[in-house]
Amino acid sequence: MNILGIETSCDETGVAVYDPDRGLLAEALFSQIEIHKPFGGVVPELASRDHAARLAPMIRDVLGQAGLEVADLEAIAYTGGPGLIGALMVGGSLAASMGLALGIPALPVHHMEAHLLAAMLEHEPPEFPFLALLVSGGHTQLVHARDHGDYTTVGATLDDAAGEAFDKVARLLALPYPGGPALAALAESGNPVAFDLPRPLKNKGLDLSFSGLKTAVRLLIEKHRRDAENDLPANLRADVAASFQAAVVDTLANKCQLAIEASGLERLVIAGGVGANRSLRDRLKALADQHGFRVYYPRPSLCTDNGAMIAYAGWRRLGEAARGTPRIVARPRWPLDDLRPVAAEV
């Protein structure tokens, strides 16, 4: 069965074809980093326009790579939310149009469910039930995943997402957008115990908070800034980056440990862009070895946004798909605990 996956929720256009028997047949990804870089963050209108310009040619290329014609597709999965409304509408409109024209289902997929299932595309996929740590630019959640589509959020950030904190601190350090990978690279040469930054809500339940940590970093930078100049000495910048990263990694590891203990689950699945962070991966692996649970990570390219995870999640939802006329679903906010898609009011 050939399933086309389309991801356009934010600043990456992702397209892939997945076949449950043969695996991932072809994929393509376009990152809009260069478009948004001058603005220091994603500009929603520019994101939508670029998805609109790029999506159809990318679908044609991916089908070509897979040696398929459009008529060989049997279902289309697209990100129905959460995300930027205009960006979601681009993917949803094209997916529903193709579904109508081809007479095949067009399935709206929950972006965070797709992240949560990305590890299923690896050679040794996790079995249900498991605890998922979803750490992306817009979300930070701990999810008890009992089965496909049966998810309960057991902890979430009260303010900033982990990726957002990385991006904001990177900005404070004048690192280029997107900040997470740049900050992680700078942290490599810094001392993670140089500064004693807060570990917010440590050992206090399963919710998280990153905005106080971000403020602590801002105050630290202001304190060490060379008088009227707007910069920090190079070694201090690296130490700030390393100390901040250590605080985030410590906090996430603490919450994972508490959630594993509270739930009795034996598997931890990492998902979302911050899951590509090397320091976090190493730390959670060490924690798992120490406490006797197993940790699963998708490869870094499956942690960040991509079309393959959307195609996979769409396949898992195919059985329950309404076979009626494809609808355009675009939900900027969509809780993971209730996956029923609601049509956009258009």
Which listed residue (145, 220, 240, 276) binds ligand KG4 by CB under 6 A?
Answer: 276
Which listed residue (5, 126, 272, 341) binds ligand KG4 by CB under 6 A?
Answer: 272
Binding partner selected for residue 8 from Zn ion, ligand KG4, none, CB under the kind-specific 5 to 8 Å limit = none
The answer to whether 119 and 145 have CB atoms below 8 angstroms apart is no
The SS3 call for residue 267 is strand
Interacting residues with Zn ion (CB under 5 A): 136, 305
The answer to whether 249 and 287 have CB atoms below 8 angstroms apart is no
Which listed residue (5, 91, 155, 163) binds ligand KG4 by CB under 6 A?
Answer: 163
**Which secondary-structure segment (H or E) carries 182?**
helix 179-187
- Least distance to ligand KG4 from the beta carbon of 296, Å? 16
In the window 184-223, what residues touch ligand KG4 (CB under 6 A)?
184
Which listed residue (167, 249, 287, 298) binds ligand KG4 by CB under 6 A?
Answer: 167
Q: Can you tell me the distance from the alpha carbon of 264 to that of 258, in angstroms, rounded to the nearest whole number?
A: 10
**Would you count residue 277 as binding ligand KG4 (CB under 6 A)?**
yes
- Tell me the number of residues near ligand KG4 by CB under 6 A: 19
Q: Can you tell me the distance from the alpha carbon of 176 to that of 187, in angstroms, rounded to the nearest whole number?
A: 14
- Least distance to ligand KG4 from the beta carbon of 184, Å? 4
How many alpha carbons lie under 13 Å from residue 328 in its C-beta half-sphere?
17
Between residues 163 and 190, which has the closer beta carbon with respect to ligand KG4?
163
If you write DSSP's letter for every residue of 126-150 in order, what string do you get?
PPSSEEEEEE-SS-EEEEEEEETTE
The contact mask relative to ligand KG4 for 290-309 (x = CB under 6 A, - = no) is --------------xx----
The answer to whether 212 and 167 have CB atoms below 8 angstroms apart is no
Neighbours of 236 (CB within 10 A): 20
Give residues in contact with ligand KG4 (CB under 6 A). Answer: 10, 136-138, 163, 166-167, 178-181, 184, 272-274, 276-277, 304-305
